[in-house]
């Protein structure tokens, strides 16, 4: 296997320090997961040192097997823990978070695909700490599921199209470009909710395809956009086709703003929840 060396602009702080240790200990003590750990996020050191994290509910096992993702996958997910909602809310209070990001693994093995538990977690946070703003990074919920999550009161609803339409085969076959756009469109019906999505670059997409994806997202009411470099988590996932230069990320940001996105983060190490609080402030 040929390993393409990373360019100089791909740099991430290694996890360390008292704040990181505190976050790690809190997660272990409360039996919580983060996508930061499970997906090998390059920003884990920066975010955890700052006391922020993207909490991952519904266990640590996904029922889908996307070819770019390092989260463990199986036909059945972990047992759902009802107490996870209160543990999550209490962790957010302990960390004194004014902005919390909650995501989940896909749970196609559950009747409602986990929507009710997702909503239970958001309500627990709101009940214990009403002033904390909540961003949910949710699966491709459809009618009858997404309403449960939206009714629980999140300020931001995020769902990722992941890549341009032509390259959607990197996702599990149960996902899809049209399905994701439909989920975002359902969320955008709620005027009180900021709708957000994310695109990974460096998978072989062309610039016209990226711009077309932006147009598609805007057409369904998506207001906030994050673009970041795909980084291969391990040898099991698909290879990087290209390391996109920061100048092109900056140009994509200009194109996104010109198309009406009000919250835009576009840089090599950006991920959906990276600088989420600042993005919400710009998009709201």
252 band by pLDDT with thresholds 50, 70 and 90: very high
Tokens 């491709």, located at residue: 140
Summarised one tens digit per residue, pLDDT across range 126-177 is: 999 999 999 999 999 999 999 999 999 999 999 999 999 999 999 999 999 9
Helix ranges (DSSP H) in 41-174: 44-49, 84-95, 115-128, 146-151
Contact 183, 175 (CB under 8 A): no
* Mean pLDDT of all residues in 237-250: 96
Summarised one tens digit per residue, pLDDT across range 72-129 is: 999 999 999 999 999 999 988 888 888 888 999 999 999 999 999 999 999 999 999 9
DSSP H or E segment with residue 246 = helix 246-258
| Record: fold of 18-283 | TIM Barrel (3.20.20)
Contact 210, 201 (CB under 8 A): yes
244 band by pLDDT with thresholds 50, 70 and 90: very high
Closest to 43 (Cα-Cα) out of 263, 228, 197, 194: 228
Tell me the two tokens of residue 61: 């096992």
Q: Is the pTM of this model over 0.75?
A: yes
- State the burial class of residue 208 (Cβ atoms within 10 Å of its Cβ: 0-12, 13-18, 19+): exposed
């Amino acid at each position: 296997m040929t390993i393409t060396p990373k360019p100089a602009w791909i740099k991430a702080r290694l996890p360390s320090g008292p704040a990181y240790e505190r976050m790690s200990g809190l997660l272990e003590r409360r039996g919580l997961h983060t996508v930061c750990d499970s997906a090998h996020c390059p920003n884990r050191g920066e975010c955890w040192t700052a006391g922020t994290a993207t909490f991952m509910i519904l266990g640590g096992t996904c029922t889908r097997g996307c070819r770019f993702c390092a989260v463990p996958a199986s036909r059945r997910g972990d047992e759902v823990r009802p107490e996870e909602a209160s543990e999550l809310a209490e962790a957010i209070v302990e960390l004194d978070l004014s902005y919390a990001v909650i995501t989940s693994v896909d749970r196609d093995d559950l009747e409602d695909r986990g929507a009710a538990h997702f909503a239970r977690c958001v309500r627990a946070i709101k009940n214990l700490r009403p002033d904390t703003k909540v961003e949910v990074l949710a699966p491709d919920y459809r009618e009858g599921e997404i309403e449960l999550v939206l009714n629980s009161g999140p300020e931001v609803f995020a769902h990722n199209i992941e890549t341009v339409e032509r390259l959607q085969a990197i996702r599990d076959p149960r996902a899809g470009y049209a399905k994701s756009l439909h989920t975002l469109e359902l969320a955008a019906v709620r005027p009180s909710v900021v709708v957000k999505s994310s695109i990974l670059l460096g998978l072989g997409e062309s610039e016209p395809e990226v711009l077309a994806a932006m147009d598609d997202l805007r057409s369904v009411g998506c207001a906030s956009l994050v673009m970041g470099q795909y980084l291969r988590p391990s040898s099991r996932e698909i290879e990087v086709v290209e390391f996109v230069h920061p100048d092109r990320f900056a140009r994509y940001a200009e194109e996104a703003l010109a198309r009406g996105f009000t919250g835009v983060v576009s840089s090599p190490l950006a991920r959906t929840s990276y600088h989420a609080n600042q993005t919400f402030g710009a998009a709201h």
